[in-house]
A = this chain, B = another copy of it.
Amino acid sequence: MSVVVELTIFPLDKGASLSPYVARALNVIRASGLPHTLGPMGTCIEGEWDEVMAVVTACFEELRKDCTRINVGLRADWRAGAGGRLAAKPASVLDKLDGPGGQG
């Protein structure tokens, strides 16, 4: 009954150096205690729908403190059934690769 959400959030009014703002959002995510993984293009968070969406809103509120334009991207994959999908989803793909596994 878990959802995996990939979240991308950054201001559009602060120039091209976005990592300080992404770090502030990641601090909020870490404080939530929900399982998450940081990637090159976003952070994946797993939990129940309501708890993950509450974290998304908390990230937005954090940036709203001092930003005047904020871009948010969210992609969610909800599936009835067990959790643990941050690890299980990539593993299920790697199992099916041709030849020896690995991510290159």
Contact = CB atoms under 8 A, between A and B. Distances in A.
Nearest to A36: B104
Identify whether the interface residues of A are mostly helix, strand, loop, or mixed. Answer: mixed
A22 to B, nearest CB: 5
Each complex incorporates copies of this chain amounting to 4
B38 A49 contact: no
Interface of A: 4, 6, 8, 12-13, 15-16, 18-20, 22-23, 26-27, 29-30, 33, 35-42, 44, 46, 49-50, 53, 56-57, 60, 64, 68-81, 85-87, 89-90, 92-98, 103-104
B68 A72 contact: no
A94 B72 CA distance: 20
